[in-house]
């Protein structure tokens, strides 16, 4: 890939990097307590939180992997995202007040209040593993894109961007991240639309040709639609998307922590709805960019050796005017900076609340804040090291890898949450047994379906022949939740019924709402 970045492009990129650092220092004076550092003292307006939710769920994965998937296949991997609004509309009304009433900073405090400390540590570790794998992927994709665009060594790119992200999260806390998210959301959407328009009108025949060719070659639609759990089908992605939505908006620290930054329950609900209804069009936009690129490159063949995830950067560097390229690259970096900055802050919140405070109780808030900042630095360095593991993305593409890792690390956490919320009978002993069953099943499924080696030398880690797990790996995240729900509930029947604070249950929320309605009617 040729490098035609000009001085203007580099100036724009440098300005953005310095601007990100400025944001970190700009809000550093306000970060004098853990509540301010992790929850902005609940002073963020709903519209800004909505953009922040949008930005924390989009990153270089959205910017590169979605176009890569749209280029190489159809829109099936978008189905997961399309399920999220459905899930959110069903549950956001009681999830927000639940968390704002019963937890301090960590989402997983709810799990301890409902099922004990073991479940809290298990669910928080699931979050940590899932987000470290995601952060490594974001860094990998960013380095891949920028290396192709600029010719700069990938290690140098990762190091520079990593330092900027750590500075932003370390000094500015969640407040700096959220306000930078607002700017980044506008940048990403504007750059995406501009790129799509340029691609559409770079094709001979324009948008009509793009649609006709994409349809005739199977690059539109969400199929295959057959009921088959052994391969990637619409039903697999739809079911997976439902549980993804429950886990993301019901148990994920990066989202729940946003609820806590809002001024009120109503503001947090409004922000969540705004974020997700902006998110789906952004995902669809970048997926369709990949579709349009496929049609463009049927008329303008790519050089050999360019992976699907690098097709969009190749188009940018060779077809976008100087200056605009700099803005697009700045937007790409911004997507990663905001997403990873939020991840570091949330990992630090979990580290302080779920681990440091348990090991070192009765310390001052100042000491906990200092510990949180150290966790930001260490987590940032660790995510840079993990990025090295993704230097070879494999044939299935990075987006497929991300979804697979998320399914593996989901660990039945959404199932635990649903049991805790809707089953008054479920208790900590039964759920613990359900978690053990889930871990054993996940280990069996991964070991009997994962091949190692290369070429003809590939072998399955644990080969049980016809009893190997042969369903699509995305179903792991679904089956793990069902196992926790089924085994956890049945096992709970063999132990005493727990004595619960009704505020931890869905029916407790319903009771409160009825009482409020009666009071307002009177």
Give CA 232 to chain center in angstroms.
Answer: 20
458 sits in the region (left: phi over 0; alpha: psi -120 to 50; else beta) called beta
Give me the pLDDT at residue 326, please. 86
Q: Residue 19: CB partners within 8 Å, gap ≥ 6?
A: none
The answer to whether the beta carbons of residues 243 and 27 sit under 8 Å apart is: no
378 or 135, which is more confident: 378
Give me the pLDDT at residue 458, please. 72
The mean pLDDT of 77-97, rounded to a whole number, is: 89
Q: Residue 156: CB partners within 8 Å, gap ≥ 6?
A: none
> For 180-236, how does the pLDDT look when each residue is reduced to its tens digit (9 = 90+)?
888 877 887 888 899 999 999 999 999 999 999 999 999 999 989 999 999 999 999
The mean pLDDT of 231-243, rounded to a whole number, is: 93
277 or 516, which is more confident: 277
Residue 133 token pair: 């794998």
In the structure, what pLDDT confidence band is assigned to residue 1 with cuts at 50, 70 and 90?
very low
40 sits in the region (left: phi over 0; alpha: psi -120 to 50; else beta) called left
Lowest mean pLDDT among 105-109, 134-138, 176-180: 134-138
Q: What is the dihedral of CA 102, 105, 110, 115, to 10 degrees?
A: -130
The mean pLDDT of 30-40, rounded to a whole number, is: 91
In the structure, what pLDDT confidence band is assigned to residue 487 with cuts at 50, 70 and 90?
very high
Q: Which class for 339: exposed (0-12), middle (13-18), buried (19 or more C-beta within 10 A)?
A: buried
Alpha helices in 103-224, H assignment, sequence order? 109-115, 117-150, 154-200, 206-216
Give me the pLDDT at residue 131, please. 82
Give me the pLDDT at residue 457, please. 67
Could you give the 3-state DSSP secondary structure of residue 262? Answer: strand
Element (H, E) at 452: strand 451-452
Tell me the β-bridge partners of 459: 452
The yes/no answer on whether domain 45-347+381-410 falls in CATH 1.20.1250.20 is no
The mean pLDDT of 323-339, rounded to a whole number, is: 83
Is 90 exceeded by the pLDDT of residue 303?
no
Using the structure block, give the residue that is written with the tokens 């230097």.
391
The answer to whether the beta carbons of residues 236 and 404 sit under 8 Å apart is: no
The mean pLDDT of 276-280, rounded to a whole number, is: 85
In the structure, what pLDDT confidence band is assigned to residue 65 with cuts at 50, 70 and 90?
confident
158 or 56, which is more confident: 158
352 sits in the region (left: phi over 0; alpha: psi -120 to 50; else beta) called alpha
Is 50 exceeded by the pLDDT of residue 394?
no
The answer to whether the beta carbons of residues 51 and 187 sit under 8 Å apart is: no
DSSP state of 483: H
Count the neighbouring beta carbons within 10 Å of the beta carbon of residue 510.
Answer: 12
Give me the pLDDT at residue 393, please. 46
What are the C-alpha distances in Å from 369 to residues 23, 216, 361? 19, 57, 13
**CA 344, 350, 355, 357 torsion-angle sign:** positive
Whole-number percent of the chain with pLDDT over 90: 43
Is 80 exceeded by the pLDDT of residue 399?
no
Give me the pLDDT at residue 376, please. 94
Lowest mean pLDDT among 44-53, 129-138, 301-310, 313-322: 129-138
Whole-number percent of the chain with pLDDT over 70: 93
DSSP state of 264: S
Is 70 exceeded by the pLDDT of residue 60?
no
Give me the pLDDT at residue 71, please. 95
Is 60 exceeded by the pLDDT of residue 396?
no
Cα gap 90→92, rounded to integer Å: 6
In the structure, what pLDDT confidence band is assigned to residue 123 with cuts at 50, 70 and 90?
very high
Cα gap 476→409, rounded to integer Å: 9
Where along the chain do the CATH 1.20.1730.10 domains lie? 45-347+381-410
Give me the pLDDT at residue 210, please. 96
The answer to whether the beta carbons of residues 439 and 275 sit under 8 Å apart is: no
Cα gap 460→493, rounded to integer Å: 38
Average pLDDT value over all residues in the chain: 87
For residue 262, the number of C-alpha atoms closer than 13 Å in the C-beta half-sphere is: 27
Angle (deg, nearest 10), helices 234-251 and 253-261: 40
């Amino acid at each position: 890939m040729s490098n035609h970045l000009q001085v203007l492009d580099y100036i724009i990129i440098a300005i953005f990097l310095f601007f990100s650092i400025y944001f970190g220092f700009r809000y550093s004076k306000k970060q004098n307590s853990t509540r301010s550092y992790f929850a902005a003292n609940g002073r963020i307006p709903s519209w800004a939180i909505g953009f922040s939710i949008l930005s924390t769920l989009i990153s270089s994965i959205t910017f590169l992997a979605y176009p890569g998937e749209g280029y190489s296949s159809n829109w099936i991997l978008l189905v997961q995202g399309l399920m999220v609004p459905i899930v959110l509309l069903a549950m956001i009304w009681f999830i927000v007040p639940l968390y704002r009433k019963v937890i301090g900073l960590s989402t997983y405090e709810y799990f301890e209040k409902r099922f004990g400390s073991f479940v809290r540590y298990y669910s928080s570790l699931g979050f940590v593993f899932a987000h470290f794998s995601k952060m490594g992927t974001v860094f990998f994709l960013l380095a891949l894109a920028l290396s192709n665009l600029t010719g700069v060594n990938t290690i140098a790119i990762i190091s520079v961007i990593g330092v900027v992200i750590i500075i932003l999260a370390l000094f500015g806390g969640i407040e700096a991240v959220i306000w930078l998210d607002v700017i980044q959301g506008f940048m990403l959407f504007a750059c995406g639309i501009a790129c799509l328009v340029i691609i559409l009108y770079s094709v001979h025949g324009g948008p009509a040709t793009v649609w006709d060719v994409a349809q005739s070659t199977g690059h539109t639609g969400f199929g295959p639609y057959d009921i088959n759990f052994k391969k990637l089908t619409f039903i697999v992605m739809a079911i997976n998307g439902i549980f993804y939505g429950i886990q993301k908006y019901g148990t994920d620290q990066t989202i729940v922590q946003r609820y806590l930054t809002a001024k009120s329950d109503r503001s947090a609900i409004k922000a969540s709805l705004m974020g997700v209804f902006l998110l789906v069009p952004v995902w669809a936009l970048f997926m369709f960019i990949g579709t349009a690129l496929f049609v463009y490159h049927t008329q303008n063949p790519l050089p050999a050796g360019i992976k699907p995830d690098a097709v969009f950067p190749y188009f940018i560097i060779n077809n976008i005017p100087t200056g605009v390229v700099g803005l697009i690259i700045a937007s790409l970096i911004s997507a990663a900076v905001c997403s990873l900055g939020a991840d570091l802050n949330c990992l630090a919140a979990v580290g302080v609340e779920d681990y440091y405070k348990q090991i070192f109780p009765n310390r001052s808030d100042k000491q906990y804040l200092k510990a949180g900042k150290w966790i930001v630095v260490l987590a940032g360095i660790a995510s840079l090291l993990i990025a090295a593991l993704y230097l070879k993305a494999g044939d299935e593409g990075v987006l497929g890898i991300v979804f697979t890792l998320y399914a593996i690390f989901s660990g039945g956490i959404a199932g635990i949450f649903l049991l805790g919320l809707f089953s008054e009978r479920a208790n900590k002993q039964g759920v613990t047994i359900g978690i053990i069953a889930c871990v054993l099943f996940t280990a069996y499924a991964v070991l009997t379906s994962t091949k190692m080696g290369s070429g003809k030398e590939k072998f399955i880690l644990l080969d049980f022949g016809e009893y190997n797990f042969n369903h699509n790996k995305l179903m792991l995240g679904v089956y793990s939740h069902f196992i926790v729900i089924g085994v956890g509930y049945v096992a709970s029947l063999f132990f005493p019924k727990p004595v619960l604070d009704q505020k931890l249950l869905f029916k407790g929320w319903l009771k409160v709402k009825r009482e409020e309605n009666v009071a307002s009617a009177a």
